[in-house]
Amino acid sequence: MKRTLLELNVNGELQQAPTRPTATLLDVLRDGLHLTGSKRGCDQGVCGACTVLVDGRPARACLMLAVDCQGRRVTTIEGLNESGEAAAVQQALAENGAIQCGYCTPGIVVALVDLARAGGGASENDVRRSISGNICRCSGYVKIVEAAVSLLGGKASDGR
């Protein structure tokens, strides 16, 4: 199949990758740019393992055509690691025993960094909403939510 040269702004740098016109953003990140922190789970928009930020908002990289991401800012878990933004979330997850196999963790960290950026203290419901698109097959979510609430200075669950 014909390949085109894409230019993408990934983690603050312009990157070029030869790719198929039908490639998803996840294909290009993982296979073209070797940024394998974004995981391929369902590959159909259900599990959230591939979550990245596009123009600062969480997005599922497996659902976006890479060509449509040209001219937009893509931030992966690697970029959040480099900027230091992921560290506090990762530490909270580790300290609360909220990581088992770890496959879902990058997507959850990206979602929680987005929540942290909003500032203002997150309630348990805020946390649950922010990771509602992220499936964890190991943990049962309780420790993930506890970790996020402890970090983000959340109010106690308001029961909504």
What is the distance between the alpha carbons of residues 152 and 114, in angstroms, rounded to a whole number?
11
Of 88, 91, 90, 92, nearest to 150 by C-alpha is 92
Q: What is the DSSP letter of 24?
A: B
Q: Contact with ligand FES (CB under 6 A): which of 54, 65, 67, 138?
A: 138
Decide: is 147 part of the binding site for ligand FES (CB under 6 A): no
What is the distance between the alpha carbons of residues 64 and 38, in angstroms, rounded to a whole number?
13
* 16-75 binders of ligand FES (CB under 6 A): 40-43, 45-50, 60, 62
Decide: is 140 part of the binding site for ligand FES (CB under 6 A): no
Decide: is 139 part of the binding site for ligand FES (CB under 6 A): yes
Q: Which is nearer to ligand FES, 44 or 159 (CB)?
A: 44
Q: Contact with ligand FES (CB under 6 A): which of 111, 136, 145, 147?
A: 136
Residue with tokens 């070797």: 34
Decide: is 103 part of the binding site for ligand FES (CB under 6 A): yes
Answer whether 10's CB lies under 8 Å from 29's CB.
Answer: yes
Residue positions counted in the chain: 160
Q: Contact with ligand FES (CB under 6 A): which of 87, 94, 101, 142?
A: 101
Q: Give the CA dihedral 109, 115, 118, 121, nearest 10 degrees.
A: -110
Decide: is 94 part of the binding site for ligand FES (CB under 6 A): no
| Residues near ligand FES (CB under 6 A) | 40-43, 45-50, 60, 62, 99-104, 136-139
